[in-house]
Amino acid sequence: MFGSLQENPKATSYDGRDDDERIKYVIRKSPILAVPWIIATIILFLLPLLVPLILKYIPEGSPVLFDGGSVLIITVLWYLFSFGFFLQSILSWFFNILIITNKKIVDIDFTGFLYKNISETTLDNIEDVTSNVAGAFGVTFNIGSLFIQTAAEKREFEFNGVADPSRIRDILSDLVAKVKHHGNNA
């Protein structure tokens, strides 16, 4: 469920799926790319716990900036912001996916809470699949990008942050070749 590449997922569907269509792969960004926002979320949740430690170093008799009610409101707002940050990050990671079926590819982009964009093209429209791994981080963890050029209205599908992009490129290229040579029974 949390890997970058899932083969033959059981309980997965999307808007516009055909009855005779089988989902072969679901691809999402590498879980390693979730580590920074997970650490940021932990820091955001722990930061208010440090406030009492800081306040004990303020000398007695100093003017009080906030009363108890203000501190409570600021703390609640802080945790609401922190939870919103976490929710947005996990939804963005989990729902920004590339789906490969026996008939087409579907790119689902989830931006914010209220916007999703779904682009798709049939496998026989795919002209070229390119993978790219760049930088020390990308080479170390084998994380890169996948570029899919098509003859359809949307000329290029781009999917960044995927683990082992060359393997996914190979899988997709094989499916495209199979569809172009044997029809849609990939």
CATH value at residue 163 = 2.30.29.30
Residues 82 and 155 in one domain: no
Residues 101 and 65 in one domain: no
State the alpha helices, DSSP H only, in the chain.
35-55, 68-95, 135-141, 165-182
Predicted confidence band of residue 159 (pLDDT cuts 50, 70, 90)? very high
Residues 113 and 174 in one domain: yes
Residues 104 and 85 in one domain: no
- Region 12-16: what's the mean pLDDT? 83
Of 90, 117, 134, the residue at which a domain comes to its end is 90
Residue 49, pLDDT > 60, answer yes
User: What are phi and psi for residue 55, nearest 5 degrees?
Assistant: -65, -25
Residues 23 and 40 in one domain: no
Residues 167 and 148 in one domain: yes
In the prediction, which pLDDT does 36 show?
A: 96
Predicted confidence band of residue 43 (pLDDT cuts 50, 70, 90)? very high
Predicted confidence band of residue 42 (pLDDT cuts 50, 70, 90)? very high
Convert the pLDDT of each residue in 168-186 to its tens digit.
999 999 999 998 887 655 5
Paired strand residues for 158: 147
Of 71, 90, 109, the residue at which a domain comes to its end is 90
Query: Hey, how many other C-beta atoms are within 10 angstroms of the C-beta on 111?
Result: 13
The structural domain count of the chain equals 2
Q: Can you tell me the distance from the alpha carbon of 64 to that of 46, in angstroms, rounded to the nearest whole number?
A: 23
Residues 70 and 112 in one domain: no
DSSP string, 38-58: HHHHHHHHHHHHHHHHHHTTS
Residues 23 and 100 in one domain: yes
- Secondary element (H or E) of residue 62: none
Token pair 């094989």 in the structure block, residue: 174
Residue 29, pLDDT > 90, answer yes
Instruction: Say if CB 26 and CB 6 are below 8 A apart.
Output: yes
Q: Which domain holds residue 69?
A: 36-90
- Of the two residues 123 and 185, the one the predictor is more confident about is 123
91 by Cβ neighbours in 10 Å (0-12 / 13-18 / 19+) ranks as middle
Biggest CA–CA distance in the chain, Å, is: 83
Token pair 């996990």 in the structure block, residue: 90
Residues 122 and 155 in one domain: yes
In the prediction, which pLDDT does 18 show?
A: 86
Residues 23 and 110 in one domain: yes
Convert the pLDDT of each residue in 54-97 to its tens digit.
777 777 776 766 676 788 899 999 999 999 999 999 999 988 99
In the prediction, which pLDDT does 2 show?
A: 59
- Whether pTM > 0.85 for this model: the answer is no
Residues 23 and 45 in one domain: no
Provide the mean pLDDT of the chain: 88
Residues 166 and 117 in one domain: yes
Q: Can you tell me the distance from the alpha carbon of 168 to that of 30, in angstroms, rounded to the nearest whole number?
A: 13
The three-state secondary structure class of 11 is coil
Residue 107, pLDDT > 80, answer yes
